[in-house]
């Protein structure tokens, strides 16, 4: 089963599941939801309604029903033996420790990305996830320990959207104003690398959205470099529609998914 997020690609062989885990606070959290748990958008494909019901029940148990957005489709895939039982093992309470994350379960291939508090937690979560799975399962540990300074980036961006002209990588005046503020604080993160991540909604083809998100991230990088930020500390990547922070069901939510994120690392 695949979620697209978390929230998030065509599944050719087996089942895949992807979703956004414990998204950053406030902006993604609906009224009345548990802000500590974050928003989980579950999507992708599963073989039958029973599998879908079991996966959603487990997610709602972990994160609360108000925090789980169902975008799961039924049919068109075949899961490996005991797949649903193994997914239940993967969805352990420890997974709630992952922030800004994405979990993908594609058949017997599992990949987990996101931020955790320390190296011990990074290793322990992956070890716990692997335990009890059959030898045919592989777990890719893409978790990371974010560098100090991420909170400064988050406070400066303040859940605002860096705007571009429709369908292009041209910044709007409002977008440039926000980037001017970011350029003013980035020198305070001496010694840190900054990853600029471009996101889109799911309108149009995934291939075009990936290209657009990459172009927008590159535009932001170039703009900041033009403001005096050393280009070598900046990197740009586009992930297209694969990591939404809201369901793409109305224009307000699609606008929130069209965003730029800044991630500090060592």
**CA distances for 242 relative to 88, 103, 200, angstroms:** 23, 11, 8
pLDDT above 70 (res 94)? yes
For residue 106, the SS3 value is strand
Residue 243: pLDDT band with limits 50, 70, 90: confident
Check residue 15 and give its pLDDT. Answer: 53
Check residue 179 and give its pLDDT. Answer: 98
Q: For the chain, what is the mean pLDDT?
A: 83
pLDDT for 136-146, tens place per residue? 899 999 888 87
Mean pLDDT across the stretch 107-132? 86
The rounded percent of the chain whose pLDDT value lies above 70 is 85
Check residue 2 and give its pLDDT. Answer: 39
pLDDT above 60 (res 36)? no
pLDDT above 60 (res 158)? yes
pLDDT above 90 (res 16)? no
Q: Give CA–CA dist 109/15, Å, rounded.
A: 10
Mean pLDDT across the stretch 186-208? 92
Q: Give CA–CA dist 21/41, Å, rounded.
A: 8
Cα 212 from chain centroid (whole Å): 17
Q: Give CA–CA dist 35/17, Å, rounded.
A: 23
Give the end-to-end CA distance of the chain in Å, rounded to a whole number: 33
Beta strand segments in the chain, E = 16-21, 40-46, 68-74, 99-106, 109-115, 138-144, 193-198, 234-238, 260-265
pTM above 0.75, yes or no: no
Check residue 19 and give its pLDDT. Answer: 52
Mean pLDDT across the stretch 77-90? 88
Give the single-character DSSP code of 231.
G
pLDDT above 60 (res 198)? yes
Q: Give CA–CA dist 30/253, Å, rounded.
A: 12
Q: In the chain, what are the domains?
A: 16-144 (3.40.1520.20), 150-265 (3.30.1330.60)
Q: Give CA–CA dist 217/134, Å, rounded.
A: 39
């Amino acid at each position: 089963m695949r979620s697209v997020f978390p929230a998030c690609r065509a599944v050719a062989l087996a089942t895949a599941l992807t979703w956004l885990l414990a998204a950053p606070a406030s902006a993604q959290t609906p009224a009345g939801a548990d802000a500590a748990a974050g928003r989980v958008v579950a999507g992708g494909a599963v073989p039958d309604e029973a599998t879908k019901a079991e996966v959603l029940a487990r997610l709602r148990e972990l994160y609360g029903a108000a925090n789980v957005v169902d975008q799961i489709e039924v049919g068109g895939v075949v899961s490996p033996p005991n797949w649903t039982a193994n997914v239940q093992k993967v969805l352990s309470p420890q997974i709630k420790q992952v922030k800004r994350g994405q979990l993908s379960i594609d058949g017997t291939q599992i990949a987990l990305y996101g931020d955790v508090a320390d190296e011990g937690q990074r290793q322990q979560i992956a070890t716990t996830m692997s335990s009890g799975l059959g030898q045919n399962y592989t777990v890719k540990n893409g978790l990371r320990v974010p560098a100090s300074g991420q909170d400064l980036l988050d406070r400066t961006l303040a859940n605002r959207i860096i705007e571009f002209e429709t369908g292009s990588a041209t910044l709007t005046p409002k977008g440039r104003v926000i980037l001017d503020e970011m350029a003013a604080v980035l020198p305070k993160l001496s010694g840190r690398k900054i990853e600029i991540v471009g996101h889109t909604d799911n309108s149009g083809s995934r291939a075009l959205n990936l290209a657009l998100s990459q172009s927008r991230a590159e535009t932001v990088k170039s703009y900041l470099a033009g403001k005096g930020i050393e280009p070598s500390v900046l990197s740009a990547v586009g992930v297209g529609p694969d990591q939404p922070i809201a369901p793409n069901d109305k224009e307000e939510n699609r606008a929130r998914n069209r965003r730029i994120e800044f991630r500090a690392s060592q």
